[in-house]
Amino acid sequence: MMEIERKWILQRVPTEFRLVRNAQIEQFYVSTSPEVRLRHNPASNEPFRITIKGEGTLAREEIETKISENFYNQVKEFVNKPPIKKDYSIFNCGGYPLAVSVVDDGAFIYAEIEFESEEQARDFQLPIDDAVEVTENTEYKMKNYWLRTRN
């Protein structure tokens, strides 16, 4: 499946949009090349997932499937590094789901929106004045944050 997504760094968690849901999630990486991530989101219908992502910024291939809690915990123990913690919120932003993550108790805050097409992604204007777009800046990929902070 193709993931088409734009990403912004925020100064604060937005208060001007309706909150849809909030959860405390954790994720860790088995590999960063290729990118293989495991995530636990207790608010999800499928709380344990593995995701494999291809290279790219705005658009990239993504394979994702559910896994068992047992498998998640075994791999987490095998990796033996503290997972990234996120206070993860979904807001309704003009009909788009704006996912906002406060990473590791405030290390930084970012927002992302997934789109149906690259054209739709390019046409979208995020209505947060001080947001800084980092879609094309690979420094802000979570796998690179993982490498900087967990190795």
Task: Quick: pLDDT tens for 23-61.
Answer: 999 999 999 999 999 999 999 999 999 999 999 999 999
Tell which CATH architecture fits domain 2-150.
Beta Barrel (2.40)
Q: Is residue 18 predicted with pLDDT exceeding 90?
A: yes
What confidence score (pLDDT) does residue 132 get? 98
Residue-wise pLDDT for 85-132, tens only, equals 999 999 999 999 999 999 999 999 999 999 999 999 999 999 999 999
- Dihedral angle sign, alpha carbons of residues 19, 20, 26, 31: negative
What confidence score (pLDDT) does residue 5 get? 97
What confidence score (pLDDT) does residue 66 get? 98
What confidence score (pLDDT) does residue 151 get? 81
Q: Which residues of 119-144 are buried (b: 16+ CB within 10 A; e: fewer)?
A: eebeeeebebeebeebeeeeebbbbe
Domain map of the chain by residue range?
Answer: 2-150
Cβ–Cβ under 8 Å, residues 40 and 47: yes
Residue 99's CB: how many other CB atoms inside 10 A? 19
Distance CA 71, CA 50 (A): 10
What confidence score (pLDDT) does residue 117 get? 97
What confidence score (pLDDT) does residue 14 get? 96
